[in-house]
Amino acid sequence: MSTVSTIIVDFADVLFKLPAGFIPSISPKILRDIRASVTWHDYERNHITEEDCYNHVGDEFKIAPNEVRAAFDQVRNSLEANYDLITAIRKLKEETYGTLRVYAMSNISLPDWKMLRTKSDVDWSIFDRVFISGDAGARKPDLAFYEYVITETGIDPLATVFVDNRQKNVDSAKAVGFHGIVFETDDHVKDVLTSALYPTAKYPLSKPDDLYALGITIWEIYTERTPFDGIDIDFLEDVVAAGFQPNMSAVREKDIRALIMTFLKEGNLSLPEGGQYVPYDVCVAGDVAYEDCTAVPPHTYEKTVHHEGCSRTFCEDSYLSPIILSHIEKKICSQCLP
């Protein structure tokens, strides 16, 4: 899946739910049957009026039209916003600095939507736009509804996550290229969305890695440079594992240098003091400086950290670490000797 840039969510049973213990004025089964009827689907597509819908449904299910209307008014007025999921989506949008687009896509008639959007306890601002079947003239799982949303927004389906409580709606979403999620629980959806937006989020940094990253961050702040800029991403892990670190000579304040080195050394727990770490895939070559060097800039020495399969007699495949990185070792700088 491409990097996620868009989330599309459903209203019914996802962002809005009926409270536990809710008892409708007519049988729950009849309510479900009405919502599954051809008449109701036409109503949600805006093919018939609200009055015609209730009259036809009343005739079909042998219920007075005013009782049908009253039952659905009761349902609409009882809907509660799923604040937990809404808050989670808002947080994801904030964390992406507004670059994440969030849309709602719901099978709902124009009159029902007019009522729903008056709920003042809902933060509608999290949605870049709301798409309803009454406007589109099509309803899920009609592919036409999904294509309508794609055309209206210009979104990339391959970079879109679609959340709905019905499998058939998710199947149609997948048919147009969306990454579909069948809603199960709030936590399930939050985990999937977070993993989709941040693929490495479920693999948090270990404490050593976290300390190493903190050292790198401080180094960047005090040098206004990016230590791994220009390093091929395929080799980055090996470069770090080999122990090549930001060049401390670029940080003039001794206290800050010492602080950074504290984090870097804590981060490289597997690197023996003054020793070599053996990476798995490639030999890494680069310049190193010695801690007791007094020269500015410091004297440097060539060093190669070999991978396990290297014979070490002749190494022609070393990856050359950028000069901005320098592994500081506790050795005597021979060039500083009198």
Rounded to 5 degrees, φ, ψ at 78 are -95, -10
Residue 83 near residue 90 (C-beta atoms within 8 A): no
Residue 335 near residue 299 (C-beta atoms within 8 A): yes
Partners of residue 162 on adjacent β-strands? 8, 180
Q: How far is Cα 36 from Cα 110, in angstroms, rounded to an integer?
A: 18
pLDDT beyond 70 at 176: yes
pLDDT at 318: 77
pLDDT range class, residue 204, cuts 50, 70, 90: low
pLDDT beyond 80 at 257: yes
Complete DSSP assignment for 103-152: EEEE---HHHHHHHTT-TTS-GGG-SEEEEHHHHT--TT-HHHHHHHHHH
pLDDT at 287: 77
Tell which residue, 298, 303, 311, 257, has the closest CA to residue 276.
Answer: 303
Residue 261 near residue 248 (C-beta atoms within 8 A): yes
Fill in the DSSP letter of residue 216.
Answer: H
| Angle between helix 207-223 and helix 254-267 axes, rounded to 10 deg | 150
pLDDT at 39: 96
The average pLDDT across 304-329 equals 69
Radius of gyration of the chain (CA): 30
Q: Between the CA of residue 121 and those of 93, 192, 269, 300, what are the distances in Å?
A: 19, 26, 51, 64
The helix/strand/coil state of 7 is: strand
Question: What's the pLDDT tens digit per position in 220-246?
Answer: 888 887 777 666 666 766 776 677 777
pLDDT range class, residue 205, cuts 50, 70, 90: low
How many residues are recorded in the chain? Answer: 338
Higher pLDDT, 205 or 248: 248
Tell which residue, 145, 124, 102, has the closest CA to residue 6.
Answer: 102
Q: How far apart are the first and last CA of the chain?
A: 61
pLDDT at 273: 47
Question: What's the pLDDT tens digit per position in 264-312?
Answer: 777 764 544 444 455 556 788 877 777 677 777 778 788 887 777 776 6
pLDDT beyond 90 at 3: no
| Sign of the torsion formed by the C-alpha atoms of 70, 76, 77 and 78 | positive
pLDDT at 328: 61
Q: What percent of the chain has pLDDT over 70?
A: 81
Strands 284-290 and 319-320: parallel
The average pLDDT across 66-79 equals 90
pLDDT at 7: 92
The rounded mean pLDDT for the chain is 82
Question: What's the pLDDT tens digit per position in 77-107?
Answer: 888 888 888 888 888 888 777 788 999 999 9
Q: How far is Cα 187 from Cα 179, in angstroms, rounded to an integer?
A: 18
Residues 6+ apart with CB under 8 A from 184: none
pLDDT at 63: 93
pLDDT at 206: 65
CA–CA–CA angle 43, 47, 51 (5° rounding): 55
pLDDT range class, residue 30, cuts 50, 70, 90: very high
Rounded to 5 degrees, φ, ψ at 31 are -60, -45
pLDDT beyond 50 at 201: no
Low-confidence winner among 111-120, 131-140, 259-268 (lowest mean pLDDT): 259-268
